[in-house]
Structure 1
Amino acid sequence: MEVIGPIFEVIKCFGGPTCTYIDHHRKLEERMNNLRRKVNDLSDRKEDLVLKKEAELRHGKVVKKEVEYWLEAVEKVNTDMEKIEMKFHAVSYFLRGHLGKFVCRMIEKVEEIHQKGSFPDGVAIDGPPATGVMLPTPNLEGEIDVKEQIWECLMGDEVGMIGVCGMGGIGKTTIMKHINNRLLKESEKFDKVIWVTVSKELNIFRLQKDIADSLKRSLPENDELQRASALKDILEGTRYVLILDDVWKRFSLLEVGIPEPTLGMGRKVVLTSRSIEVCQSMDCKVIKVQPLSKAESMNLFLDHVGHNVVQDQNLKDIVNKIAEQCGGLPLSIVTIAGTMKGVNDFCEWRNALTELEERVKSVRGSDVEIFERLRFSYDHLKNPKIQSCFLYCSLYPEDFVIEKIALIENWIDEGLLDGLRTRQEMHDRGHSILNRFENNCLLERATTWNDKEGVKMHDVLRDMALYIKGHQFMVKANVRLEELPSEQEWTASVEKVSLMQNSKVIEIPPHISPECHYLSTLILQKCGLERIPESFFKHMPGLKVLNLSSNSAIVDLPNSISNLKNLNALILASCCRLTYVPSLAKLRALRKLDLYCTKVAEFPHGIEMLQNLRYFRLESEHLKKLPIGILVKISHLQCLLVALHLRGEEVGKLRKLEYVTCSFCDMQEFKKYAESAQGKWPTSFNFQVGPYVNFYAGFSLDLKEIKKRVVLSNLTIEKCDDGVLPNGLHTLCIKWCDDFKCFSNISLFGKATDLKICQISGCKGMECVVDLSLSSCNALHNIEELGLFFLQNLCEVVRVGVAVENECTSHAPTPPAIFSSLKQFHMSFCSRVKKLFPVELLQGLQNLETITVYICEEMEEIIASEENHKGEGTTFILPKLKELQLYSLPKLKSICSSGLVIPADSLQYLYIVRCPEVRRIPLSLPLVENGQPSPPPSLKEITVGRREWWELVEWDQPDAKDVLSPFIRYYW
């Protein structure tokens, strides 16, 4: 064989296909590693997609066919990968070139599938439309006459358009929320109740989309006339009430696609507006909301401040006068009452009355009067920094739900939470401030589009905040700007500018150079910017926060950024085409640098000079390693969130590190980190250990999301030191570690006794999770969530046997106690498992709430049959089960044997699709007084494959199928 090398050198001279063959031959190992990495990334994306899919299914949506096809394509890739691995280990010397060529083609195929798996428009489409959405409503004081007038107009045939008008904060929206909910509960006259918030800046495109979304329908993407025609066709086919909240100016219903509400056709439109002229111009029956009476004002005030304040007669008189000063406006009453809640001092109440009286006397004009009343609550925040935290919320668009964590991070960038030692203390302070705002009714609690905790600012309070700041704030967020404000609008006094979410602003004029010497915050987030001229930042010497995130078209930044010496935060996250960042050497004040999801090709020059840097986030496919010595020079980091291989010793010396996401190339580097850290682990960490960087690692700063997580990938587990894993480890992921056979014989996991989540995927050697003939391993004793994915040789979860003492545990629990804390179990693509849980384990599954089993071809039973069971009596199992999801299990015959029954008292979701052999669903429904079964009160949805299968399925309770039929949704 030694002669082969020189012969190949000679053959190179012939060029062409021969050279290509040689290249394939020599680089086979390199390309196999590349393929493994890409298949690994593809599988990670698939796992993320499966989780999204499951979430969408739980919300009543239907997974798109293209997503199902993509998942099947990934499944085929994994099957093909197994065959390639077998060929690779057995390939002869002379066939390496052929295999190398095939591997190259496979890499291209995997890249193509990976690219198609982004699904920016989501993985599911809406299922059957809902009648409407029940809205959270505060108690409604007064307004009985107005409510009844609106209700009579809706129930009668004389009025088609209703306009509910009144000043801001008078309760129009609250009244209509009560009407919305009453329609859903009481009226059968309408098929749909549609609620849409219009807001100050009318956006026809968004209005059309919101109406269509409420009906679970879609519209053409671009042409506004086609969209209007399509929406009109949809609406004409149903009876509905359309509630348009917060309308500021007249618009044509037909231009939007809303049919004229012809009498007798079962179509009504209600709009709320501050302007009676708007209501009249749209031919509405006008119903005006009047201020509350004195008695109603007092009742509402006491409901929020507490009735105990009127026990003292002297105090009662003052409280009554303060309620009167609120002008009968529910928003003012609730906000001021929130401010005074808990105050018992007579002098403080008397002072509050004096302040309010002076404010109302000093102004004229309804809006200004409202603002001055509300400003009382703002002034009573006392602390200027807390007041600034409140005012900052007005930089967001109207009616925008602000994610709490993101808002607190922005407050930190602004220096509003300074004076605290750690970032966790800053987040704690931020949450405390948000709680105060919510308790004082200055912000309301809300949920973001992706189900995160958020807050929302009432539009009147936002107007009040902007009134307070006057010319110091220039806010034009999400107002459909088509170009940047003119240079004259950038006044010398402006301190903060927010132009976020104006996607049509694609360029900044080349010679514009606003003279804003006091400008400290500039937010250009989610615009459509393609480039920024050098002159733009020339006269902004005081700029401290520059947010350019989510400008997906911008490629490079002007060099003038390098001269912003006072800059504290440079936020460039999700500028997904950004390749160049200018020198940062002069930005010595910089505390935050966010380069997440960019394409920067090299590390910005001067990053090692940023000794004040506290937060560094970076992910770019072009960068794999951090240059040696940089971390030592930016040693004050509190947050290090990077998709990079780092040196363990350097990371370990970052003594102030609290949040960290990073990779170590092997276990040796991870061990160096553990030794250098000297037992001082960060508050929250997400470590990946292995040769490949996972670009889908977590980058959140939310403690609830990062937790304490370690990912072991492509490693030899058996050689790992048991002292490496940290105490208190919360989440452990093991991927593509082929020597990993089960937990019971690996000493590495002996100390991971606090583990709550464990996910194992792609480990070819794994045959069981726990082998009781060795030990049960205490690492899983407290586990709450277990996920098993792509384990081609897994035969059983628990191998039942006699437990013995070994180095993993000296007190192996009895079989029922192994998973006594388990709440969620997920399994997919484990093709050899036939029986999921042995019957011996049942007593230890008392806390199990979720079982998800997807695409396991050999699965025959979920709970293995009890051989000695004679069919005598009934044994209830899994008492807390909330979700059972079984998908594509072609050989599954039984969920459990006939003597075992699952009580359905807690059941929320049942999902059985592509399980053709299942004939019995072993659920026991709760019984009503007459002994008949009834649906569980928690039940939300049952999804099955086809109607034919559902008709054949058997239940232990004869009437169960009829009782559950209203909850059925068919997958096909």
Structure 2
Amino acid sequence: MEFIGSILEVIKCFGGPTCTYIDNHRKLEECMNDLREKVNVLNIRRGDLASKKEAELRHRRVVREEVEYWFKAVENENTEMEKIETKFSAVSYFSRARLGKLVRRKIAEVKEIHQQGNFLDGVAIDAPPTRGVKVETKDLEGEYNVKEQIWEYLMGDEVGMIGVCGMGGIGKTTIMKHINNQLLVDSHFDMVIWVTVSKELNIFKLQKDIADSLEESLPDNELQRVARLKHILEGKRYVLILDDVWKRFSLLDVGILEPTVGMGRKVVLTSRSIEVCTSMDCKVVKVKPLSKEESMNLFLDHVGHSVVQDQILKDIVNKIVEQCGGLPLSIVTIAGSMKGVDDICEWRNALIELEEHVKSVKESDIEVFERLKFSYDRLIDPNIQNCFLFCSLYPEDFVIKKVQLIEHWIDEGLLNGLETRQAMHDRGHSILNKLENNCLLERATTYLNEEGVKMHDVLRDMALYIKGHQFMAKAGMQLEELPSEQEWTVSVEKISLMENSILKVPPHIAPNCPHLSTLLLQNCRLRKIPGSFFKHLIGLKVLDLSSNIFVDLPDSISNLKNLNALILFNCLVLKCLPSLAELKALRKLDISFTSIKEVPHGIEMLENLRYLDLRAGNLKELPVGILPMISHIRCLIGDWLHLNGEEVSKLRKLEYVSCSFCDMQELKKYVESVQGKCPTNFKFGVGISFLSLLSHLDRFSPNFKDIRNQVTIVNCDMGRCDDIVVPNDLRSLSIWTCDDFKCLSDFPSFREATDLKICRICECKGIECVVDLSLSSCNALHNIEELYLHELRNLCEVVRGVAVENECTSHAPTPSAIFSSLKQFHMSFCSRVKKLFPVELLQGLQNLEKIRVQQCVQMEEITSEENHKGEGTTFVLPKLKSLELVDLPRLKSICSDGVLIITDSLQNLMIVDCPKVKRIPLSLPLLENGQPSLPPFLNTIRVRPSKSWESMKWDHPDAKDVLSPFVTYL
């Protein structure tokens, strides 16, 4: 080494480049330490800014977009740092200089990003004030006088507390929803707060709901919470609507300031009890039943006006409406159940049934239930009735995710008799539609914006009234202890204790419920279940223990020989299960998102198993030979497991599979073994457990998890083109960090994937073009709808070989038709691309809705025309809604001079940090006088820096003035 060192000293004399090379070689460790220190300092600043960002968000301010971009830049640097550390750990003697050069360059980058993080103007700006939430409403019928009376009290200074009372289903909530929306339009109050209280009053939850509505947080301490809430509300003019109050409580104990005359604070509560309203010093407004005329109008609006064209039928309808007692919920529900019926005999029979329901009933609630039960009875099919009744096991006012509900119906055996699980889900959706159409369920969305349904609280009470002692539904009641053993009666069939705070089950409790078939204990924070608990629950078929915090389950689980479904989803600390060998009836096992390390003992003995979810983070492998022993399985989810391709192919009844293969050869074995006949829904990861990439993939496509028939290939050898096989009905393809991947046109298997809709290519160093027309037609791209290209450092062009169009085979699409179905195009961090689309390609983008190009440092032109001679050319992109150009320092033009793009559907234009762009070639609609008008759907134009907008030129001299009101400077 001394000899080599002497040689290096001599080489220094040969000039600057050589000296730099030697410095990079010799000082690699020193530079690495410097880089680590600077990255650490950068992350400290990131932590400080993240804290500031969270504080600003708590105060309902909006984070600046440049700050968000800075955070993304820091994230990229940390990712790069991990790669450099990997290279450093294995660097050879002759590669040290090259790595040293990279490290020095990275040090400079990190320093620059650190300096950019000095946001002198702060990290956030003021957000427009949130005054409340607009809610969906139904038409009012006959409640106008009540609404006007409430409105008068709200606008006046004489009344602070208003109590809207009336029997269940009479329309109290509907009236207040209309008033809520009207208050949001009116400027009399600063804010409108809507909170649903429900039967089981919980002060802690009520306080949290009010704070959440105001986008504020509260401390855990009880006294501090009250003081904090009072402080938040003090000095504000607001209306607080408390819907569905069942018992009296003190506003001051909650932290709600007492409404006083002239202070601009109003509280409105709705209740079935006039005593509750008077005991809380409310000005009572009573909602009365609808008049006969109003009732008839509402009934006809829902059943159709044609039913009164026949005089005999009209008389029957009149009597049916009379039986509804002027109750809007009864009228709407019964009308829904009779919609589409035109047989007079059926109407006559319906009247007799309805009269029988209410003939001898005296108590008001039960009278309502019996009227509503008429619609339940008309469902006729016992399975559909049971599907409806099952919904009452969820908490009051709970939005039930549709897919989750249908899965529970399947577990209950309510959708049996169908060949496939897909058919069961289709049947489930059909039943949901029927229940919605009959007004027994209402459509809703979850807090994650997923499709759901909701049960009116009166209908829920009616369902529980129907089931009597067979159902024990104490869901969402904030219980801290399990119901006493005496409440677990011999006759009970279904028990729901979900969404409570029951930390433990008493050590010796052994409820005697031989007929209990369903026990729902999800999300109860359970820490321990004693072995005695399941001793007498011999008839149990469905056990849902999801989202609890126990470490293990008692051995007595193994004795539940009638169990059909064992659901342990999201039991994060669950580490092991007792043997399942005796659970011969088990059809569904879900251990996803648990800490289980080994496949449960006896799983190979479960001959009736149809659904298996093995997404447990610590479960690394499935022992060889298990899959063939459960070959009857229809749904297999094992995203974090590398499975054997041939073994998976033996599961001939699979309808849904989501798993990973270790390499392309295993995928090939699987595809060839099934002869291309994959399950109707598959998700395969190759090279890595592909769900570890979900966070990245979601950035590119928010609906990624819902995409069917996808293959994600990560860090695989793709050099042997003819050796690569993908399923024929592939719809989504993602290729990550496959450095020998050159071009989609190289692979015969990809060319024939004509169902392909989504394609992502990310961090592949070898790719120079996406498709090469000189090599093949690449038929698959003709149907592609979304294309994402990310961090392809050697990509030069999206489509190559446009000039040799005439040499293509006769069946090849022309360049203009290659992406004729494309709707979304995203490109980011592709540093060598200079020109994006040739004009020939642009002509075929008739379905394009969004273009986003970000941080492509060499990009000069979005669309180019090599032989353009300056004459005026116009292209129509009829569906383009969003054009986003971000951080393109060399971008000079969107397209050549004289070329215009017609985009009448444009909604969003974003040009950020593109300093050289001087012309926006969008053709605006023209008025009759020749002046430009706004694109009809335009929402916003976002620009940075502001001076770039001032310097931009438009083909029409007045275009800038027309568009300026829509400009937001970032």
Instruction: Report the TM-score range of the alignment, normalised by the length of the smaller protein.
Output: 0.7 to 0.9
Amino acid at match of 2:821: S
Q: How do 1:632-647 residues align onto structure 2 when only pairs under 5 Å count? A: 632-643=628-639, 644-647=641-644
Give the match for residue 885 of structure 1.
Answer: 884
Aligned pair in 2 of structure 1 residues 942, 411: CA closer, same or farther (>3 Å)?
farther
SS of the aligned residue for 1:463 comes to helix
Contiguous gaps of at least 5 residues in structure 1 = 2-52, 103-122
Give the Cα–Cα distance (whole angstroms) in 2 for the partners of residues 682 and 372 of structure 1: 47
- Paired with 1:459 and 1:67, the residues of 2 have a C-alpha distance of 43
Q: Deviations over 1:468-507 (max 9, x none)?
A: 11221111222211122222222222111111112x3221
Does residue 1:766 correspond to 2:763, yes or no?
no
Q: Which one of the candidate residues 529, 533, 536 is aligned to 1:532?
A: 529
State the shift of 1:320 in Å: 0.6
Matched, 1:152 2:152: yes
What's the counterpart of residue 140 of structure 1? 140
Distance in 1 separating the partners of 2:237 and 2:638 = 53
Q: Secondary structure at the match of 2:482?
A: coil
Correspondence 1:164-243 to 2 at 5 A: 164-185=164-185, 187-215=186-214, 217-236=215-234, 238-243=236-241
Out of 542, 563, 569, the position equivalent to 1:573 is 569
Q: Which residue of 1 aligns with 2:395?
A: 397
**Which secondary structure state, in structure 2, belongs to the residue aligned with residue 168 of structure 1?**
coil
**One-letter identity of the residue aligned with 1:400:** F
Aligned-partner Cα distance in 2 for 1:183–1:845: 46
Task: Answer whether contact 1:487 1:513 (CA < 8 A) is retained.
Answer: yes
Q: In the TM superposition, what is the alpha-carbon distance from 1:570 to its structure 2 partner?
A: 0.6
The answer on 1:685 being equivalent to 2:682 is yes
CA contact (8 A) 2:718 2:724 kept: no
Deviation at 1:724? Answer: 2.6
Tell me whether 1:707 sits opposite 2:708 in the alignment: yes
Partner of 1:594: 590
Give the secondary structure class of the aligned counterpart of 2:196: strand
User: Letter of the aligned partner of 1:779 in structure 2?
Assistant: A
Q: Equivalents in 1 of 2:193, 2:930: separation in Å?
A: 39
What is the deviation of 1:432? 0.8
Alignment check: 8 A CA contact 2:915 2:948 kept = yes
The equivalences for 1:437-476 within 5 A come to 437-476=435-474
Distance 1:287 1:313, change over 3 A: same
Which stretch shows the higher mean deviation, 892-901 or 426-435? 892-901
Map of 1:753 onto structure 2:
754
Aligned to 1:358: 356
- C-alpha contact (below 8 Å) 2:722/2:747 kept by paired residues: no
Separation in 2, partners of 1:416, 1:63: 51
Q: Between 72-81 and 560-569, report the one with greater CA deviation.
A: 72-81
Deviation, 1:556, is 1.3
2:785 is matched with which residue? Answer: 784
In structure 2, distance between residues paired with 1:388 and 1:472:
12
- Structure-to-structure mapping, 1:406-485, within 5 angstroms: 406-485=404-483
Tell me the alpha carbon deviations over residues 414-448 of structure 1, each in whole angstroms, 9 at most, x when there is no partner: 11011111111111111111110011001111112
Match of 2:4 in 1: none
Shift of 1:729: 1.5
Quote the residue 1:626 is aligned against. Answer: 622
Q: Distance in 2 between matches of 1:64 and 1:562?
A: 55
Aligned AA for 2:642?
H
Q: Judging changes above 3 Å, is the alpha-carbon distance between structure 1 residues 301 and 570 closer, same or farther for their aligned structure 2 residues?
A: same
Q: Structure 1 residues 950 and 360, CA, compared in 2 at 3 Å: closer, same or farther? A: farther
In the TM superposition, residue 834 of structure 1 has moved relative to its aligned partner by: 3.2
Query: What residue is the counterpart of 1:499 in the other structure?
Result: 497
User: 1:942 Cα shift?
Assistant: 4.8
Deviation at 1:162, TM superposition (A): 2.2
Question: Hey, what does 1:828 align to over in structure 2?
Answer: 828
State the secondary structure of the residue aligned to 1:245: strand
Please, which of 603, 610, 632 is the counterpart of residue 606 of structure 2? 610
Task: Tell me the alpha carbon deviations over residues 160-186 of structure 1, each in whole angstroms, 9 at most, x when there is no partner.
Answer: 33222111111111122222333344x
Deviation at 1:630, TM superposition (A): 1.0
Q: How many residues are matched?
A: 886
Q: 1:663 maps to which residue?
A: 660
Q: Deviations over 1:24-72 (max 9, x none)?
A: xxxxxxxxxxxxxxxxxxxxxxxxxxxxx9xx9xx99758999766633
On the 8 A contact 2:667/2:686 being kept in 1, the answer is yes
Q: How does 1:952-971 map to 2 (within 5 A)?
A: 971=970
Deviation at 1:394, TM superposition (A): 0.9
Take 1:703 and 1:497, find their aligned partners in 2: how far apart are those partners? Answer: 36
Distance in 2 (alpha carbons) for counterparts of 1:535 and 1:697: 41
- Contact 1:243/1:269 (CA < 8 Å) preserved in 2? yes
For 1:902-925, what per-residue CA distance to the aligned partner results, in whole angstroms no more than 9, with x for missing partners? 555433344444545555555555
What whole-Å deviation, never above 9, does each CA across 1:212-258 have from its counterpart, x for those lacking one? 4444x322352354444444444445443333322223333344444
Would the aligned equivalents of 2:684 and 2:690 in 1 still touch at CA under 8 Å?
no
What are the equivalent positions in structure 2 for 1:872-951 lying under 5 Å apart?
873=872, 875-897=874-896, 899-903=898-902, 905-915=904-914, 917-918=916-917, 921-923=920-922, 936=935, 938-944=937-943
Equivalent pair of 2:868/2:896 in contact (CA under 8 Å): no
Secondary structure of 1:596's match? coil
Looking at structure 1, the residues matched to 603 and 746 of structure 2 have their Cα atoms a distance apart, in angstroms, of: 46
Secondary structure in 2 matching 1:549: coil
| Change in CA separation of 1:747 and 1:874 when aligned onto 2, cut-off 3 Å | closer
- Secondary structure at the counterpart of residue 300 of structure 2: helix
The Cα RMSD (Å) is 3.4
Distance 1:633 1:885, change over 3 A: same
Distance between the aligned counterparts of 2:907 and 2:160, measured in 1? 40
Quote the residue 2:515 is aligned against: 518
Alpha-carbon distance in 2 for matches of 1:567, 1:768 = 55
**Alpha-carbon shift at residue 610 of structure 1 (Å):** 0.5
Distance 1:837 1:248, change over 3 A: farther
SS of the residue 2:318 aligns to: helix
Cα displacement string for residues 343-394 of structure 1 (whole angstroms, at most 9, x for unaligned residues): 1222221121111112112221111111111011111111111111001111
Structure 1 SS opposite 2:592: strand
The CA distance in 2 between the partners of 1:518 and 1:786, in whole Å, is 55
Higher Cα Rg, which structure: 2
Q: Deviations over 1:300-354 (max 9, x none)?
A: 1111111111122111111110011011011100100111111122222112111
Letter in 2 for 1:141: E
Q: Do the aligned residues in 2 keep the contact of 1:709 with 1:732 (CA within 8 Å)?
A: yes
Amino acid at match of 1:543: L
- Distance in structure 2 (CA, Å) of the matches to 1:360 and 1:384: 22
User: Could you tell me which amino acid in structure 2 is paired with residue 731 of structure 1?
Assistant: S
Once the two structures are superposed, residues 551-604 of structure 1 have per-residue CA deviations (whole angstroms, 9 ceiling, x without a partner) of 1x2221111111111110011111122110111000000000011111111111
1:959 to 1:247, Cα distance in 2 relative to 1, 3 A: farther
The 2-side partners of 1:964 and 1:527 are apart by 55
Q: Is the 8 A contact 2:874 2:902 kept in 1?
A: no
Gaps of 5+ in 2: 2-53, 104-122
CA distance in 1, matches of 2:320, 2:297: 12
Structure 1 residues 640, 306: closer, same or farther in 2, change over 3 A? same
Matched position secondary structure for 2:780: helix
TM-score by length of 1: 0.84
| Equivalent position amino acid for 1:771 in 2 | D
C-alpha distance after superposition, 1:506-548 (max 9, x if no partner):
2112111211111111111112112211111111101111111
Equivalent position of 1:733 in the other structure: 734
Partner secondary structure for residue 862 of structure 2: strand
Q: In the alignment, what sits opposite 2:31?
A: none
Q: Which amino acid aligns with 1:638?
A: R
Select 1:550's aligned residue among 547, 553, 556: 547
- Equivalent pair of 1:355/1:376 in contact (CA under 8 Å): yes
Q: Deviations over 1:796-829 (max 9, x none)?
A: 22235334699x9763322221111100112223
* Aligned 8 A contact 1:591 1:613 in 2: yes
